[in-house]
């Protein structure tokens, strides 16, 4: 499930491979994503991330915006390499002289002119990007206060409050902050909210550090030791030995994992 850290890593990989290169083949496989590209003349200027949105910018003034939702991904191959994706899952193919980039199971593919990007509804309403260099935590707190009756778990997932956090990090951030996930925003002081959002930035930035190839919040890379609470319902808390609980809640009925003893 791609979150902001996954999207930023994907953007970095695609940027290193494609930025400055001319498009030699363009094959959209979905009607909404179709638009003419001057193959052999249009270049890819850069690839970057905005929260959970991946933005591929072209020299003709257009931006390709993709959102992975739960299962989408971009794959990158050398010419002649076998694709690790079935043909029917490929929604777009972009080739350069050296690379083949394919969008696999990507549910949201849309074109927007660069000049209109800042006014695009999914982008203009985004809160501060948790991974951005100019992250403004005071703005995040102000945005969270707009919905005082939201739980802190829902506030972390609200992309208009804070862009980039998803369901895995939500549970991990709250555990590391020792914050009860279903506490209302109105019940938390600014300093408490600040601690939660600072933990969000700390955890997510750690997971995009060079050499980090597995998402981990515990500091351990083994797949059975890398997370504190996520998908560990019924197992012992790694800190206190109590039992990890799980509840589905919020607008999208997402799962939240927490330790009732550590997160009172």
Active site residues: 2-3, 52
Taking a C-beta distance cutoff of 8 angstroms, is the pair 185, 26 a contact?
Answer: no
Other Cβ atoms within 10 Å of 122 Cβ, number: 16
Give ∠ CA 60-19-88 in degrees, rounded to 5.
85
Longest dimension (CA), the chain: 61
Other Cβ atoms within 10 Å of 244 Cβ, number: 23
- Distance, in Å, from the CA atom of 68 to the CA atom of 25, rounded to the nearest integer, reads 23
Other Cβ atoms within 10 Å of 5 Cβ, number: 25
Taking a C-beta distance cutoff of 8 angstroms, is the pair 194, 141 a contact?
Answer: yes
């Amino acid at each position: 499930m791609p979150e902001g850290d996954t999207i930023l890593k994907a953007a970095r990989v695609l940027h290193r491979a494609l930025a400055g290169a001319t498009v030699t083949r363009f094959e959209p496989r979905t009607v909404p994503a179709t638009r003419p590209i001057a193959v052999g003349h249009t270049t890819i200027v850069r690839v970057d991330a905005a929260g959970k949105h991946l933005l591929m910018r072209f020299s003709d003034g257009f931006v390709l915006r993709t959102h992975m939702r739960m299962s989408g991904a971009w794959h990158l191959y050398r010419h002649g390499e076998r694709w690790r994706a079935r043909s029917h899952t490929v929604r777009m193919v972009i080739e350069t002289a050296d690379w083949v980039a394919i969008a696999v199971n990507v549910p949201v593919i849309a074109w927007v002119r660069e000049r209109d990007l800042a006014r695009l509804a999914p982008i203009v309403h985004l809160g501060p990007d948790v991974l951005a260099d100019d992250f403004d935590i005071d703005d995040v707190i102000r945005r969270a206060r707009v919905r005082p009756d939201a739980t802190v778990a829902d506030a972390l997932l609200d992309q208009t409050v804070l862009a980039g956090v998803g369901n895995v990090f939500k549970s991990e951030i709250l555990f590391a902050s020792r914050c009860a996930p279903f506490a209302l925003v109105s019940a938390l002081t600014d300093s408490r909210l600040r601690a939660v959002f600072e933990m969000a930035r700390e955890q997510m930035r750690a997971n995009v550090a060079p050499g980090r190839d597995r998402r981990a919040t515990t500091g351990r890379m083994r797949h059975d030791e890398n997370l504190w609470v996520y998908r560990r319902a019924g197992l012992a808390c790694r800190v206190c030995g109590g039992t990890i609980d799980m509840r589905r809640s919020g607008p999208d009925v997402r799962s939240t994992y927490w330790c009732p003893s550590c997160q009172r």
